[in-house]
Chains A and B, each alone.
Chain A
């Protein structure tokens, strides 16, 4: 057949029209599943992180300065004092690929450990550290799309992704997010990441940035008036945060962070909730936890049912004990690492991606009797100084920041804030066993081990395939603080 033969076109045309006799899920069921992911409330772990990058303008912004309307942005509706804009995602830039996703996951793992070490070093040794590196990375990746020159290079270096262009990194996050969402959906757990851009009314924006933000981050765009009504803008932004975190975080900013000088806010919110694949006993028992001060405190521990060890991956090393507890479906898991000699901060400081991989590879199928504290932690971070210490300096400097890819108006970053919550409870689901049957942990448990997480430890919620760390907690005192 000649390649120009019209029969080829006719053959391909058969693919353009059809009615399949398929067992379609009803659209109401699809909507129900979507809602279920957004409101799965009974999960054993709820982790929420919100990262916000707020940028301030170097010059006053007003309606008279810049045209607020652009052909690539259209108004769809108003909520409160905020106006929702829709940006055309366009078709420019690289398409998301698995290669970029893997590269971003690797760099995110490195950034996660660096961030943990920096936060641990900057806080008192008696304080817990809780942060979502995934949420922060996403917000910074959005910012990087609008950065240029040294500002862009420093953001990329801080994120450990300087081998990728900003567009490639954004494409990688897009692919990673799609993969994780699909995995979470397949597992029946809820993992939602939402992005938004809050713009000063009248601020001119770069259309390429707006298209990229829409295409790679599916970012909602809201127009507000920081200039004359910062309190109203904060109220609208907090309403968005409250909605996306299912009410776990209701107020994001320190007073004064958002003011009449604010030009825009880039925000990411991550919400994760999932039951353990194998349930713990439904009641907690009080047990001693050893604090770094040398004292002990009595705390409620969740534990495996008496005489009913769970099948888990674990190891007991000479200086560290580790457990990997899968959530329903097994794609996401909590990796718990407890050093048995030295301090938790020393242990965190020694962690590298290769060391983490080595520890993870030490995990072996184990019949495990486990106890660990229940958790209900929250944290609030102003990350400007931390990011500056990691090399991201120019973005915060009004005289050297180059965010020209974002807006023709000279901008710099005034604050980067994040709030997080994490709770760990015994809850398990009847559905757990049904989804755990496919292709995971087929090796028979070879040993029976008892591990008590009763010293300071690391609690990482991570993708067991890529190593991406969604949340990380350095737990010094599970009672909080």
Chain B
């Protein structure tokens, strides 16, 4: 199989989950799709290198993640340019609810939870990704779960009423 086939297969196989993962961090699915597609463009420009990695998807997620949390995440100019004319992404209801709850917890806790529980990184890998000590990441994960539990419970109560 040629390089183009490898690239196309990877793109089709993991683009959806990458968008959900980045959306869980940024809260905006359409924007996350732009970042994921941008990351794939950058991957193709250095495909000789990226294809040789043990985890090319991880590299692409890392690029998309940094685009999502970096300076350009805060620039509406970039987002507006990239998304104009495109149909907004509608996430399934259960995913949308969890992502909304995640947006209500502090960013450091949210990123730790998404990287560890959703992206499947180990605690050590999450700590490296977030440039934080392992103990701090464990604390974020623990506190984040408490807050997420509260947020999920409140959103369920709003939806279904108290038990």
Contact = CB atoms under 8 A, between A and B. Distances in A.
Interface of A: 1-5, 7-9, 11-12, 14-25, 27-28, 30-31, 33-34, 37-38, 74, 76-77, 84, 86, 88-89, 91-98, 101-102, 171, 174-175, 178-179, 181-183, 185-187, 192, 194, 214, 218, 220, 329, 435, 438-440, 465
Given A31-B44, A91-B124, A179-B71, A186 B49 contact: no
A183 B72 CA distance: 8
B73 to A, nearest CB: 9
Interface in B76-91: 76-78, 80-82, 84, 86-87, 89-91
A86 B53 contact: yes
A183 B38 CA distance: 11
Given A11-B152, A12-B98, A18-B95, A182 B80 contact: no
Given A33-B41, A438-B80, 8 more contacts: A20-B19, A20-B89, A23-B86, A30-B40, A98-B70, A186-B81, A440-B77, A465-B71
A15 B99 contact: yes
Contacts of A19: 16
Interface residues of B, number: 73
A183 B87 contact: no
25 contacts: A1-B153, A2-B149, A5-B149, A14-B92, A15-B20, A15-B98, A20-B89, A23-B86, A24-B15, A27-B12, A28-B4, A30-B37, A30-B40, A74-B52, A91-B124, A91-B125, A92-B128, A93-B128, A94-B131, A178-B70, A182-B78, A186-B77, A186-B81, A438-B81, A439-B76
Interface of B: 4, 7-8, 11-12, 15-17, 19-21, 24, 29, 33, 37-38, 40-42, 44-46, 48-49, 52-54, 59, 63, 66-67, 69-72, 76-78, 80-82, 84, 86-87, 89-92, 94-95, 97-99, 101, 113-114, 117-118, 120, 124-125, 128-131, 142, 145-146, 148-150, 152-153
| Chain B interface, >50% SS class | helix
Contacts of A8: 145, 148-149, 152
Contacts of B129: 91, 95
B89 A88 contact: no
- Give 4 nearest A-B pairs by CB, closest first: A91-B128, A86-B52, A94-B131, A1-B149
